[in-house]
Each structure stands twice: as C-alpha cells, then as structure tokens.
Amino acid sequence: MFRRRKNIGIAALPTILLISSILVEVVVVGVVLANALNNSRFSERVAAEAYAAANAGAEDAILRVIRYKNCPATPGCPSSYSLAVGSRSADVSIVDSGGGVITIQSTGTASMRKKKIEVILGASSNTGEVSLQSFREVSL
Amino acid sequence: MKRRGGASFSGQSLVELIIGIGIAAIVAGSVVGALVLSVRTNKYSIESKAASSLGQEILDQTKSLSEGDWVGLYSVSDKSASSTYHIDSTSTLVIATGTEEVLRDGITYTRWISIENVNRSATSGAITLTGGSEDPSTQKVTTYIEWAFFGDTTRVSLTQYLTRWSRNTATVFTDWSGSSGQDGPITRPDSNYFTSSGDINLSTTIQTGSSGYLISSTFDTGYPDGMKINAILWQGALGVGGTNSVKFQIASSNSSGGPWTFIGSDGTSNTFYVPSGPGTSYPIPVGQHNNKRYFRYKVQLDKDGASTSPVVEDIIINWSP
C-alpha cells in the first residue's frame, strides 16, 4: 500500500514531462514544416516581383533597339545596363546575334529571387524595323 | 508512521502534480502560440500568393491593352502614383477608373493599377527618376492588391514599365521620279512628292550639285489616335572629300491639311535631325511627334567642297502606333 502510493506520486511528473516533450516535438516539426511551406509561398510572391522587374527591363530594351538601329553600339543603347523598377531592379544585356537577330536578356531581382526573360528580335539591316520573334522566361 | 509517511508521499505527489501542471501549462501556452502564429503565417502566405497572382493577371491585361491601344493607356486623365484604375474585361479590355473587387477562395481582394509618366535622359536615353524629359512611349504601371487580414488591411504590389513597341513599322521612301504638287495624304510611298527647291536632282535617288531640299507628300499612317515617330535614317552615300550633309526635318499633324511645321532636334525650325551617316538612325526626341496621324518630311542635301555628291537612295521613317 505504501509502495503503491509512492509509485503513483512519482509517476505524475515523468508522465506529464513525457507527454509534453512528445507534444513539443510534434508541434516543432509541424511549425518547421509550415515555415518551410510559408517560405516557399513567400518566395513565389517575391518571384512575381522579380518577374515583373525582368519584364520591365525587356520592354525598355526593345524600345531602345527600335530607336537605335545599330543597337547595341550607340550610347543610347548600351550592351548592358541596370534599371531600377520601383524597389526592384533589372539587369539587361543586348547582343547583336548576327543575321539580323538581336537577343535581349533581362534578369529581374527581388530580394534573393531572380527571374530571367529572353527576347529575340528580328531587325532589318536596311530599315531597322523590328519584329518580335519570341518573348519568354528562361532558366537562370 | 504509516500516516506520517502516507501524508508525506501524498504531499510530494501534489507538489509534483502542481509542477507538472505548471510545466504543461507553459508548454501548452507555447505550443498554442506557435500554432496560432503558424496558422496565421500560413494563411498570410496563401493569401499573399493569391494576391500576387491577381496582380500579375492585371499587369498582363494592361500589357495586352497597351499593345492594342497605346494611346488609350497613355491618355488616361490622372497620371500619378495615387491614380486608381482597373481593367474592365467584360467584352474587350478597357481602362476604367476606380478599383475592382475579386473573390478568390472565399477572400475578397481589392485591386487596382496606377499609371505614371516616365522621364528619360536626353543624352543616354535611360529612364530617370529625376530630370530628363517625359517619354510618352513609356509608362510605369503599378498594380496593388489589398485584402482584410485578421482585422488589418494588407497590400502587395508589383511594378512594371510598359513601352510602345508593338506593331513597329518602317515606312521606306525610295522613289522620287514622279512629279511635284502631290499634297496627299498617301497611305503608301509613291514616286510623287509635294515640292522641291534648289539644285536637286530627283529620280530613284536624290542628289544635289550644291544645295537643295525636297518636301514629301503627306503620309497617312492610318491610325486615328496617332503614332510616335521613333527614328529617321537614310541609305545611300554621303560623298567623299568634303563636308557634305544630309539632314531632315519632320512635320506631323492630326489633320491631313496640317498645319505643317517642320522641326528638328531642338523642336524648332532652326535645327535638323542629322544622322551621322547613311544606315545610321537618328532617334527622334521623346517629346516630339507623339500621337499624330499624319507626317511629312523635308530632306536637305548640301554639297560642300566634296568631290562627289551626296546620294540618297532611301529615306526610312520608323514609327509605332
């Protein structure tokens, strides 16, 4: 009788500690997983901002190619430059790929995320008229 | 002994129980706090991702609209960071004032765009936040999405520049062998022209023995809301051994009858657009020849001590509706 009472009394704290530790472990794992998921979603939101910045850089570069026939060889149409887009930015490169093809690559950056858009333009060597061949997101 | 011992163990068990409950309460409080924070963050992540998607959607719609009707985008009345528009996609894409509400997964989002003018440096052509001249071919569009989140209003935004480049067109004038007196408007280049003066020889080329100019017929781009002239260039040969020049002025109007005020690089009739040579474009300053349907060009050739005359084979005007 005496021993039973002693055992019952001692069992309460370890039991609660055991259950609590299990509960803490489960919740910690859950929170960590949820946090990872949230980071992923946050990353997607930031990626949308980077994509918009990359688009802005591409749009700006196309207009420069139209205005400067021999782009990228003139001060108004440099082969590479940076563009502030609100609180984000885009790094743009313009390359004469030969054969009347101009390639624009614009990399938008938001926080740590980057998105890259590549534009292929056909440019007449005689008239400078520009036609869009492709405008797409490419891997970094 | 038994009573004393029993009472002693009972007291110890109660203390343990109280400590245990205390620990459990602390743990439970922390766990509940972590869970609440996690659920809240999770909800915010889901909703902000949906908001970004809605923002991208309206940016895409605005871009489509600008490609089909740039002047419609550019001509909205209020142009500022606080301007408020949305895209009405009921039938065709149209810019409408005010915000719109979008229901997505049980959440009501309020979204709108602001449209702002953009300045560019006259020297580098780069977009500038201060100084420079307004470029009517570039617009800054920011989309905002707001929604209620646990009693507070939350907002995400996306910013993009849109430019007037789609349907870029080069009109090539390559024959002046016809006759003068053609006022126009013409919708495609032909061999006639409006007038010429000075020592000017016209055929499928333009040449001069000393100095002269030609004024073209009125050209109709066919766009009632107008276009922007992007650049002018010419093909041919400048001549060697001297300082020959081939230079241009352009007049534009929304009426086929003019008035025709020929201007050059500084926006007055005192200057010319002077490409550095054949095959090199001269970008028209951003503030000139915007949203006009008709244009005329004036080309002036000067032979100055060179052994050969300047020869113009093509005059090319690049514009975007």
What is the tens place of the pLDDT at every residue in B126-171? Answer: 999 888 899 999 999 999 999 998 888 889 999 999 999 988 899 9
Is the pLDDT at B213 greater than 80? The verdict is yes
Residues B156 and B236 in one domain: no
Residues B135 and B85 in one domain: yes
Which stretch of DSSP H or E encloses residue B313? strand B311-320
Which residues have CB under 8 Å from B191's CB, separation 6+? B175, B176, B177, B178
Considering only residues 183 to 222 of chain B, which have any Cβ-Cβ distance to chain A shorter than 8 Å? none
Q: For B34-45, what is the mean pLDDT?
A: 81
Q: Give the pair of three-digit tokens for residue A81.
A: 């430059």
Residues B153 and B77 in one domain: yes
Is the pLDDT at A20 greater than 70? The verdict is yes
Among B128, B143, B163, residue at a domain's last position: B163
Q: For B83-112, what is the mean pLDDT?
A: 91
Residue B217 forms part of a structural domain: yes
**pLDDT score, position B59:** 93
Report pLDDT digits (tens) over B60-70.
999 999 988 89
Please list every residue in chain B whose beta carbon sits closer than 8 Å to the beta carbon of residue A100.
none
**pLDDT score, position A3:** 52
Contact criterion met (CB < 8 Å) for B23 and A44: no
Of B13, B34, B231, the CB nearest to A31: B34
Diameter of chain A measured on Cα atoms: 107
Q: How many domains are contained in chain B?
A: 2
Q: Record the pTM.
A: 0.83
Residues B264 and B307 in one domain: yes
Is the pLDDT at A79 greater than 50? The verdict is yes
What percentage of chain B carries pLDDT values higher than 90? 61
Cα(B81)–Cα(B103) distance, rounded to whole angstroms? 25
In terms of C-beta density within 10 A (0-12 exposed, 13-18 middle, 19 or more buried), how is residue B299 classed?
buried
Q: Long-range CB contacts (< 8 A, 24+ apart) of B261-264?
A: B262/B215, B262/B296, B262/B298, B263/B288
The pLDDT confidence band at residue A70, using thresholds 50, 70 and 90, is confident
The pLDDT confidence band at residue B5, using thresholds 50, 70 and 90, is very low
Residue B296 forms part of a structural domain: yes
Residue B301 forms part of a structural domain: yes
Closest CA to A118 of A81, A100, A92: A92
Map residue A85 onto helix, strand or coil.
Answer: strand
Interchain CB contact of B24 with A (< 8 Å):
yes
Report pLDDT digits (tens) over A25-39.
887 887 787 777 767
Which structural domain range is residue B33 located in? 25-163
Of A9, A35, A42, the CB nearest to B16: A9
Tokens 């992923």 identify what position? Answer: A40
**pLDDT score, position A6:** 53
Residue B49 forms part of a structural domain: yes
The pLDDT confidence band at residue B12, using thresholds 50, 70 and 90, is low
Averaged confidence pLDDT in chain B: 89
Please list every residue in chain B whose beta carbon sits closer than 8 Å to the beta carbon of residue A131.
168
**pLDDT score, position B32:** 84
Q: Does B310 sit behind a cis peptide bond, omega within 30 degrees of 0 on the bond before it?
A: no
